[in-house]
Every structure is written in structure tokens, then in C-alpha cells.
Structure 1
Amino acid sequence: MAGVALNLIKLSVGPKDVHELRRLQAERLVVQPPLRHWTRMIPRRREELLDGGSIYWVIGGFVRVRQKLLDLVEDQDTEGRARVALVLDPELVPVELRPQKPFQGWRYLTAVDAPGDVGDGPVASGLETIPPKLRVELRRLGLL
């Protein structure tokens, strides 16, 4: 995402793959729109994040997809503790796979350090020549 001032990166806790993340978010969107992800730590660089920034999701040890950040809404939980809703565009945009070690919470991610969208690069050819069993395993690992 060239030109974007600032993004977030976060581990997706629960979903084991992008399909499951998509399914869970679709359910949340129907039950309680808009699509939000709640976090306790409030990003202080709001304007930079909302100037075209995204949240990059780490799933299964790899950065796999991103979602555009639409808003940050400060609130309190039922016990009066501060929290923020990251309001997300429902579209999950595949990005170049990048290994990522576990970390707690979220982190800022500059545009320079963010993986590019998958659609931005060359398209692979010859995938049909890979044996089916190997293709399945490569997809499971997020390499196809």
C-alpha cells in the first residue's frame, strides 16, 4: 500500500485461516454492523491511520490479509475500562505472505514495511503442473 502513512498489524486470535476469519466477520457484520474489532489499547496516531491505513492480520504465523481502517471509535466496556473499536472495511485483501512471530496486542506498521497486495505482483503460471497433493499442502501453508 504505497503512500499510506501508517497501518496496524495484529494477530488474528481464534481463526486458523483466512476463510474462517471471513466467515466470523461476516456473521458479526450481520448481527451488529458496522464491522468492528475491539481492542483495549487506543491508537494515538488516529489521523495517520485513517489516512488510508489498514489492519494487517497475522494468521497461522504469516501476515496474510489486510482490511482498510474506516474509523476508530473510543468507548468503554461494561466495567468502565477504555477501549476502541477499529471499524473495518469488510473486504479482506490478500497480501504477500510474510512470516511473523507472535506478539501481544497490535503494533504500528509503516507503509514501507507492509507487505504488498497479492494482485500487485506478477501472476504465477504452471500451477496446474504441480501434483494435486502438493498443491493442497502448499495452499494449506498459504503458499498458493
Structure 2
Amino acid sequence: MVMNLVKLCVGISSIEQLEAWREKECARRRAAGEPELIVHVTRMMPAKKDEVENGGSLYWVINGSIQCRSEIVALEQVQGDDGIKRCAIIMSPELIRTSPSPKRPFQGWRYLKPEDAPRDLGGAAAGGDDLPADLRAKLMEIGAW
């Protein structure tokens, strides 16, 4: 069985901003001779670790809606300098845009069943890149996109 995670993308206001941050992180890792993976550290390790690692994704909530996802490669326990154990979510560097799906604010991460996950967008409709950002946001707000 596969299980996904959903998490707020705090401090990011658009998919483009998240893509730019991820590209910088991949470039930094390349320069350091490290694998091009994205690592996000969160407080709690999922109890359903095996299901998440079995093809799950991290769905990102940006501006009140799920807008994209990242494929999860692994979940690893790490310990911070403060001695607290945390969970490192290791992801593929690629962002996959999804059909926008409204999501209320929450803390931490939540499980997201595959049948409840928004569908991936593909081709020319992959996020309305040709639309102005404010128009795209308004369409999402009224549920017309």
C-alpha cells in the first residue's frame, strides 16, 4: 500500500519560488559532490514509514491549496545539534504540478491517501504558466481552476 504526506510550504508564495529554491539547493549539492536530492526536516517520523517509502509523495500546500508534489525517496531519522530526533524527508528534485486542491492550515504534516490526492497536471495545462499569477490565484480562489 502507498501513503502520501501533505505539508504546508511555509515561506513560499508560488510554485515558481519553490522551484527556484530547489534549483539553488540542487546546485549547492552538486558543487559539494552530493546527490541531487531535496531534504526537508520535520519533527515527527511517520508511523506509516514503509507505506510512504513505497511510492509516496509529499504534496505541498502553497497559498491555501495543494499545488504540487515531490516524490519521496526515503524517510530517515536524524538528530539535530540540540539532541532532538527528527525526520528527514528525502525527495526527488522534480516538482510535479497537481490540480489545485484547497487545504486549510495545519501544523506539521498529515497523511494523504492516494484516492484523496489531487491529480497530476501535464502538458500545456500544467499550471497555466501562460496566465498572469494574479489571475491564476483568483481562478484558484473561486475554484474555477
TM-score bucket of the superposed structures, by smaller chain: 0.7 to 0.9
Q: Could you list the per-position Cα deviations for residues 67-103 of structure 1 after superposition, in whole angstroms to 9, with x for gaps in the alignment?
A: 1000111110001100111001111101111111100
The match for 1:71 among 61, 68, 74 is: 74
Note the residue ranges of structure 2 that are not aligned, 5 or more in a row. Answer: none
The match for 1:14 among 11, 15, 18 is: 11
Corresponding residue for 1:86?
89
1:97 and 1:142 in contact (8 A); partners too: no
RMSD: 2.5
Q: Which runs of 4+ in 1 moved over 3 A?
A: 140-144
Say yes or no: does 1:46 pair with 2:43: no
Alignment of 1:88-127 (within 5 A): 88-119=91-122
Secondary structure in 2 aligned to 1:112?
helix
Shift, 1:142, TM fit: 6.4
Report the TM-score, using the length of structure 1 for normalisation.
0.82
Note the residue ranges of structure 1 that are not aligned, 5 or more in a row. Answer: none
Aligned-residue sequence identity (percent) comes to 35
Secondary structure in 1 aligned to 2:122?
helix
Once residues 87 and 138 of structure 2 are traced to their aligned partners in structure 1, the CA distance between those partners, rounded to angstroms, is 32
1:25 and 1:90 in contact (8 A); partners too: yes
Report the TM-score, using the length of structure 2 for normalisation.
0.81
Corresponding residue for 2:38?
35
Would you say how many aligned residue pairs link Structure 1 and Structure 2?
132
Once residues 141 and 85 of structure 1 are traced to their aligned partners in structure 2, the CA distance between those partners, rounded to angstroms, is 34
Amino acid at match of 2:6: I
Q: Could you list the per-position Cα deviations for residues 90-142 of structure 1 after superposition, in whole angstroms to 9, with x for gaps in the alignment?
A: 1110111111110000000000111110129x96xxx9xxxx9xx42322446
Once residues 10 and 44 of structure 2 are traced to their aligned partners in structure 1, the CA distance between those partners, rounded to angstroms, is 16
Once residues 142 and 85 of structure 1 are traced to their aligned partners in structure 2, the CA distance between those partners, rounded to angstroms, is 34
